[in-house]
Amino acid sequence: MLKQVAEGVLVHQSELLQNNTVVVQGTDGVLLVDPGITDDEMLCLANDLGKYGQPVSAGFSTHPDWDHVLWHAELGEAPRYGTARCAAEMEELLSHADWRTQVTEGLPPEIALETPLDRFGLITALPTGTVRIPWDGPEVRIIEHPGHAPGHAALLIVHSRVLVAGDMLSDVLIPMLDESATPIEDYLVSLRLLEDVAADVDVLVPGHGSVAGTDQVRTRIHQDRAYVHALRDGLTPDDPRLGASARPDWEWVNDVHEGQAQSIARRGGK
């Protein structure tokens, strides 16, 4: 079910991983950001959009992780944009004859049979350096950064003062670092870029977890930065997303943290 979070901006959240799909209403259609993860959820989304009488006029994938590059036939044939690097990552994956097997092996087993792959990863690359989504609707700024995944981008919906953060600034997921040569620095650079627009944000929509108000934007930035600093310094993070107090059924986040801590320790904190 779509829930309005700001003027002209609605959110649909998936059940399993609390993925947030963002709908931005335009003149003759909507911009659809990260449209969901299961067949039923995307059908529900398409039906909800039908009630508003606006077709999907453009899509956007914030980054090339599997759960952000899915699509469904009922959502139509609108261009699905991403950064040039995001699109390149998808093109490289899809060039492999066994790409479907690779993707399926990485899906949560609970939804492996419910995740539609027919339109997986068909991203239209925006030219490098593009700063606005080309569509007939409110201004949506693209904030590309090196954190979490290649070609990751946050979106700032200027008029509505909404920041769509992709897989950052979550209240349920710790920062998940990219497998780059300098993942710590990359993530810290990304947080600085998001902090640069914090004064222009009233509503924060993370890729996973709870939508936050303006009072939580800087809090989440500081929390993510504290976690990354602890990893860098070889310390145990004091983070509510970890440990026995973490959400039920999300214990796997602790495993992600342990793997990251070991990897950064081997790199010498870089």
Please name the residue that has the structure tokens 């090196």. 146
Q: Are 68 and 94 in contact (CB under 8 A)?
A: no
Examine domains 1-128 and 140-270 and report if their fold is the same. Answer: yes
Q: What does the mean pLDDT of the chain come to?
A: 95
Under the banding of pLDDT at 50, 70 and 90, the label for residue 72 is very high
Under the banding of pLDDT at 50, 70 and 90, the label for residue 146 is very high
1-128 fold: Metallo-beta-lactamase; Chain A (3.60.15)
pLDDT at 245: 64
> C-alpha angle with apex 38: 210 to 201, nearest 5 degrees?
30
Instruction: Return the half-sphere exposure (C-beta side, CA atoms, 13 A cut-off) of residue 249.
Output: 6
Residue 178 main-chain phi, psi, to 5 deg: -75, 160
Under the banding of pLDDT at 50, 70 and 90, the label for residue 240 is very high
Tokens of 265: 């320790």
Q: Which CATH number, 3.40.5.90, 2.40.160.20, 3.60.15.10, 3.40.50.20, labels domain 140-270?
A: 3.60.15.10
Secondary structure letter of residue 19 according to DSSP: B
pLDDT digits (tens, 9 = 90+) for 78-103: 999 999 999 999 999 999 999 999 99
Instruction: Parse the chain into domains and list their residue ranges.
Output: 1-128, 140-270
Reported pTM = 0.95
Distance CA 15, CA 117 (A): 19
